[in-house]
Amino acid sequence: MPSSHSEPSKVQDQNFDKLAQKFANNIYGTPKGQIRAAVLWRDLQEQLPYFAGRKLRVLDAGGGFGFFSQKLAAMGHEVVLCDISSAMLEQAREQIAASAEPLDIQLLHCAIQELNVTELGQFDLILCHAVAEWLHDAKSTLAGLLSLLKDDGLFSLMFFNKEAMRFHALVSGNLDYVAADLQTRKKVRLSPKHPLQIADVQAWFNEWQLELRCESGVRVIHDYLKKSLPDNFDFQQLLEMELKYSRQQPYLSLGRYVHFIAHKASGPNNSIEG
């Protein structure tokens, strides 16, 4: 049965309690969400054979209603799903209860910064998708999260790509926005506050001695489509093209999000500090 954790600390990053349904719909209830899900699931499925079929302990950090938590639990893995939003976790609870098969998912209502190895132990696989760009200090938070990753484990990180954000604004004609370095006085609640540079994240991974095993752009085409599309436009064909070009440059670097999967080597020299 899913269980709850203590209330999150007062110092919080973005919380989607008031926007939970809208946010969930935007993530996976739209064509762009279907592309996101397809790219991430392909990447994960390609890496899971690394574990030779054994049952995994998985941490879905900031996982919302647990789209991938539920898919991995359905494969027989043991999952811990944490999120700062109680509303998102309530959606997860309802979906888990409605599942046709038992799902081994523990729910924790807390901020990522509150997760600790003493209480939870370590995990074979950690997911952190579309979270880093909402954090005030992504590097330190991710470094702390990696303390919960076992030696020889895998870390799946998807982050909002600042250069894609800039390029999208350029081709949309929002030149003043670009000139202001993507800062605006208007509050856009579903627009990430802290997009990341690919090179910065790569540098962090190198510093943490993580071996990058997978790199994909997420929505390398969709977000640049013209408003007027051909009469024979086919979403399934678009999805196939997204998967094809997601790992090819220069398209990868223009993905609205970028997905990395990295391996944490075993040994005495793999300590991670923020």
What letter represents residue 151's amino acid? Answer: D
Cα-based distances in Å from 139 to 39, 63, 132, 190? 24, 18, 8, 21
Alpha carbon distance 157, 134 (integer Å): 13
Q: Residue for token digits 């599309």?
A: 229
Q: Residue for token digits 């924790």?
A: 108
Annotated binding residues, written as ranges, equal 36, 62-63, 83, 129
Q: Can you tell me whether residue 171 is helix, strand or coil?
A: helix
Alpha carbon distance 20, 189 (integer Å): 12
Count CB neighbours of 83 within 10 A: 29
Cα-based distances in Å from 56 to 104, 124, 151, 153, 260? 11, 6, 13, 10, 19
Count CB neighbours of 152 within 10 A: 14
**Length in residues, the chain:** 274
Rg (CA), the chain: 18
Contact (CB, 8 A) for 249 and 220? no
Contacts of 177 (CB under 8 A, 6+ apart): 169, 184
Annotated binding residues for S-adenosyl-L-methionine, written as ranges, equal 36, 62-63, 83, 129
